[in-house]
Amino acid sequence: MTCSVKTTLRRSDIRRHPAISFPARPGRAFWLGFSLAGSLLAAPVVTAAPSSIQNDFSDNAVLATLPDVSPNLSSAPKNVDELADEVQQLIGQARKTGDPRFLGYAERLLGDWPEPDFTDRLRVLRATLAQSLHRFDSARQDLERVLQTTDQRQQRIQSRLTLANLELVQGRYVKAREHCQALADLYPGLIAASCLAQTEARTGRAESAYRRLRGQLASTSNADPTSQLWAEGTLGDLAAQLGLDSAAVHWGAVLQQSPDDLYTRAQLADWQLQASNLQATLALTKGYDQVDALAVIRAIALREAGAPEAEALADSLRERFAEAQWRGTLLHQRDFARFQLDIENRPALALKHALANWETQREPLDTRLVLRAAHQAEDQPNLQKLRQWLAEFNQTDHRYPETP
């Protein structure tokens, strides 16, 4: 759906334009020669609805007024390079703002281009979009094809890094390490070192991975700013896994240079919330109510602080999630599960959605949410399932609840 300045969204518009499954999941993006961008993009589909929603509007009733975010798509790109530039810009805008409509625009542009005319760069961009939309198999297919056929070093680098990130997110650590090592052979430096450090940390060697990467960053004075920020953000992830206070320092350094990195902002806000640093959490999430992950964290912090505006934000999130379910699409399943656990006190429902999310996303915060929900729901079979998985990879994390 293309929106313009103060676009009015009507029920008839919803009927004519089927909902697209859009994103919002943690993950980080890097394009060679481009900029580092945080990402909270993911798109699970859910059918159950926890609450009713008004749906008896007339066709001309105004449901919402949308901000002006639509790009100028009145004319089709003239050539494949122009198309690739526009798609890359749209993906970057989605990650910068957390607004999933930019991904819809990108998908529309790619869908209008004939498949036989796709270049390696377009396939990498389509895979990046597919990953953001949780179409992991489609993303793999495009990336592996590029690796098999391309003679362009830049596209090989991007494909390796994207595949490594995809496998890491899904908890496929052997494959992730293979791609990280291939990336290190092709493009040595802090990006590849960060990639390898993440796989080491998730498989029982977090302390040594943190020390090694910190030393590499300190000794690499000529690295480009993007690589330095990537390493700094990875150090924040590893420090949080180890329970080190330096996590906030590393993530803070990234946000100082890249305040629109939503992935890092959400990681740091969650860290501060878990430490009961409510004022720091509220400062990090202020002005980001449109980003589900940050809005849910803020709602929890406001409630814990006893703030008078806590219930208004909770109500807004209830409406947002209910509307997504009414449309047959739940945009941010992990955030919905956390909302059910920490705001609505529905651990069984939270566990259902946390597990569905965990089947495809196994980042530490995904795993922690399942563990917390299973504990509160007193679901021993699922706790045992998680324990076995953690033991298989010798994975520990300071943020995980106790799993005796």
| Confidence class for position 223, pLDDT limits 50, 70, 90 | confident
The string of pLDDT tens digits covering residues 140-192 is 999 999 999 999 999 999 999 999 999 999 999 999 999 999 999 999 999 99
Residue of 155, 199, 208, 207 lying closest to 180 (CA atoms)? 199
> Given phi > 0 = left and psi -120 to 50 = alpha, else beta, which region is 152?
beta
Domain boundaries in the chain?
1-153
- pLDDT, position 203: 98
- pLDDT, position 56: 53
Three-state secondary structure call for residue 7: strand
Rounded (to 5) percent helix, strand, coil in the chain: 65, 5, 35
Mean of the per-residue pLDDT values for the chain? 84
Cα–Cα dist 121/33, whole Å: 13
Q: Quick one: average pLDDT of 195-210? A: 98
Is it the case that residue 25 has pLDDT exceeding 60? no
The string of pLDDT tens digits covering residues 248-306 is 999 999 999 999 999 999 999 999 999 999 999 999 999 999 999 999 999 999 999 99
The string of pLDDT tens digits covering residues 314-341 is 999 999 998 877 776 565 789 999 999 9
Q: Quick one: average pLDDT of 344-370? A: 96
Cα–Cα dist 111/127, whole Å: 13
Cβ–Cβ < 8 Å for 68, 294: no
Which secondary-structure segment (H or E) carries 112?
none
